Amino acid sequence: MLERALRKNSVKVTFVLPADTPPAEVSVVGDFNGWRPGVHVVAPRKDGNRAVTVELPKGSIHSFRYLGAGDHWFNDDTADDQDGPNSRIHT
């Protein structure tokens, strides 16, 4: 699930996953972090889910995927659209 918070010139995008689906560490990997795993790792929240927030420029489009343990790549069903194998978000 994606949550958005508008700022003056940017959008804070929070990538949210259930606490244990998939189990183990998960990174959000995308063009906004050079597709590097481990830069944006989802962490537990008070509501029981896991999340990480990334601030992106307003009016931009970004491709991303999630990377779980064991080289398990997966997409976000709530993304704005798809770009080939990647999810895409519009800010």
Residues 53 and 12: beta-carbon distance below 8 Å: yes
Q: How many domains does the chain divide into?
A: 1
**Residue 41 lies in domain:** 2-90
CA distance 9 to 28: 22
List, in sequence order, every residue forming a beta bridge with 13; answer none if it has no partner: 4, 54
- Residue-wise pLDDT for 60-82, tens only, equals 999 999 999 999 999 999 999 99
- Please report how many Cα atoms fall inside a 13 Å half-sphere around the Cα of residue 37, on the Cβ side: 10
For residue range 42-55, what is the model confidence (pLDDT) as tens digits? 999 999 999 999 99
Q: Rg of the Cα trace of the chain?
A: 12
The residue type of 41 is: V
CATH number at residue 12: 2.60.40.10
